[in-house]
Amino acid sequence: MESLEGKCVAILADNGFEYSELSSPKESLEKAGAKVEIVSTGEGEIRGWSNDEWKGSYNVDRTIGNVSHEKYDALIIPGGVMSPDALRKNTRAVEFVRSFFSSHKPVAAICHGSQLLIDAEVLEGREITSYPSIQKDLENAGAKWVNQEVVVDQALVTSRTPSDLEAFNKKVIEEINEGKHAKQTV
Amino acid sequence: MESLEGKCVAILADNGFEYSELSSPKESLEKAGAKVEIVSTGEGEIRGWSNDEWKGSYNVDRTIGNVSHEKYDALIIPGGVMSPDALRKNTRAVEFVRSFFSSHKPVAAICHGSQLLIDAEVLEGREITSYPSIQKDLENAGAKWVNQEVVVDQALVTSRTPSDLEAFNKKVIEEINEGKHAKQTV
């Protein structure tokens, strides 16, 4: 297994994140040796969601007003219909996402997480996948949408649903190990 | 008050519809004399949503596989993050929405309801509003997005949130009374 010792990864989420899409990448990254911090819009806890009900919670490590990409080697954006919908209304959250692209760092989004990439205006010509309901939105934003368990395009890693998590986590670790990609840009 | 006697209106919704965005237009239309039918993807009941929790339910009158625009004078699409997200994945639901445009009939969408209009490909050059999180998706689909409590563009009525419902319901009734608009098209 590849080691992520010394790497620090941000997970950007808000209330209603799909529980497994935060818990599974977090565990996988920590097992590989990375430090993981949860970034959100407010202080305290954020609640997860699974199978039509609230499920679990995580403490927020940093709020979006007090954070910069400089501290992190990569960004993960979990899905769920509520969490990305709340985050994309927040200008600082959108700028935070965009800053990982302008600094050429790996970004991984699963399910509805890639809605943030639409607002960050970073999708022109990029190959991605997502939860199928937002395919049209991603295509209208300039992306080439494909139906695969995981898509890797120059440090941008995307998956469709929780059932893709094993493949997603594996590629996320690979891309973080590879580091910056010049073609991951705005 | 204008009368909608003899008019029949479809409300297209699924689990997780914003409760007031179905209940309030339904009551308003029925008070004006219209018949209202709830159309959804499956039989039985659909559950509403309000203030971060499930709230109430409605019986489904017709399933999307057994319905045509021909029976209806207008279409209403409530919001909530879950209901339109589920409906837009359903090809028949998207075709049902599009059929109201090709037959020049009034369509009203509130909050996230207008996500269906993206998949129906009916937004090029149309003026609309919505819940602010999806502004970019609507603009990328060709719409001109404005920040108003209600926007009326040739039989297309849109609003932002439950607090706009009074203005929304009033315009919906006006547009149904006016009937077909040649410029409401695909």
Cross-chain residue pair B15–A133, CB shorter than 8 Å:
no
Gap between the Cα atoms of A179 and A104, Å rounded: 9
Question: Residue A51: its pLDDT value, please?
Answer: 96
Per-residue pLDDT at B62 exceeds 90: yes
Question: Residue A2: its pLDDT value, please?
Answer: 77
In single-letter form, the type of residue at position A162 comes to P
Gap between the Cα atoms of A14 and B106, Å rounded: 36
The DSSP H or E segment spanning B169 is helix B165-178
CA A52 to chain centre: 22
Over residues B66-119, the pLDDT tens digits come to: 999 999 999 999 999 999 999 999 999 999 999 999 999 999 999 999 999 999
Task: Please name the member of A88, A89, A136 whose beta carbon is closest to the beta carbon of B118.
Answer: A136
Per-residue pLDDT at B1 exceeds 70: no
Q: What tokens were used for B100?
A: 């109201």
Distances from the Cα of B108 to the Cαs of A12, B28, B129, B172, in angstroms? 34, 14, 11, 7
Per-residue pLDDT at B154 exceeds 70: yes
Question: Residue B27: its pLDDT value, please?
Answer: 98
Walk along chain A (186 residues) and give the pLDDT tens digit of each residue: 679 999 999 999 999 999 999 999 999 999 999 999 999 999 999 999 999 999 999 999 999 999 999 999 999 999 999 999 999 999 999 999 999 999 999 999 999 999 999 999 999 999 999 999 999 999 999 999 999 999 999 999 999 999 999 999 999 999 999 999 989 999
Using an 8 Å CB-CB cutoff, list chain A residues near B137: 118, 137, 140-141
- First and final CA of chain B: distance in angstroms? 31
Question: Residue A179: its pLDDT value, please?
Answer: 93
Cross-chain residue pair B136–A141, CB shorter than 8 Å:
yes
Residue B104 falls in which region: left (phi positive, over 0), alpha (psi -120 to 50) or beta: left
Give me the domains of chain B, ranges plus CATH numbers.
8-178 (3.40.50.880)
Question: Residue B2: its pLDDT value, please?
Answer: 77
The DSSP H or E segment spanning A25 is helix A19-31
Q: Are strands A156-159 and B17-18 parallel, antiparallel or unpaired?
A: unpaired
Cross-chain residue pair A137–B132, CB shorter than 8 Å:
no
B111 as an active site residue: the answer is yes
Q: What ipTM did this prediction achieve?
A: 0.96
Q: How many residues does chain B have?
A: 186
Q: Please, are residues B120 and B103 in contact by the beta-carbon 8 Å criterion? A: no
- DSSP secondary-structure letter at A78? -
Gap between the Cα atoms of A57 and A35, Å rounded: 19
Share above pLDDT 90 across residues of chain A, in percent, rounded to a whole number? 97
Q: Please, are residues B13 and B22 in contact by the beta-carbon 8 Å criterion? A: yes
Name residues whose C-beta falls within 8 Å of residue B142's C-beta, 6 or more positions apart in sequence: B123, B124, B125, B126
Gap between the Cα atoms of A146 and A185, Å rounded: 20
Nearest to B12 by CA among B133, B113, B101: B113
Cross-chain residue pair A86–B133, CB shorter than 8 Å:
yes
Tell me the average pLDDT across B145-160. Answer: 98
Tell me the nearest-neighbour CA distance from B36 into chain A, angstroms. 27
Over residues A146-166, the pLDDT tens digits come to: 999 999 999 999 999 999 999
- Average pLDDT, whole number, for chain B? 97
Per-residue pLDDT at B65 exceeds 80: yes
B104 as an active site residue: the answer is no
Using an 8 Å CB-CB cutoff, list chain A residues near B119: 136
- Integer-rounded Cα radius of gyration of chain A: 14
Question: Residue A9: its pLDDT value, please?
Answer: 98
E strands, A1-134, where?
A: 8-12, 17-18, 35-40, 45-50, 53-59, 62-63, 74-77, 107-110, 127-128
Tell me the average pLDDT across B126-136. Answer: 98
Nearest to A46 by CA among A89, A92, A10, A12: A12
Using an 8 Å CB-CB cutoff, list chain A residues near B112: 85
Question: Residue A43: its pLDDT value, please?
Answer: 97
Nearest to B131 by CA among B73, B182, B80: B80
* Residue A152, strand partner residues: A157
Over residues B103-118, the pLDDT tens digits come to: 999 999 999 999 999 9
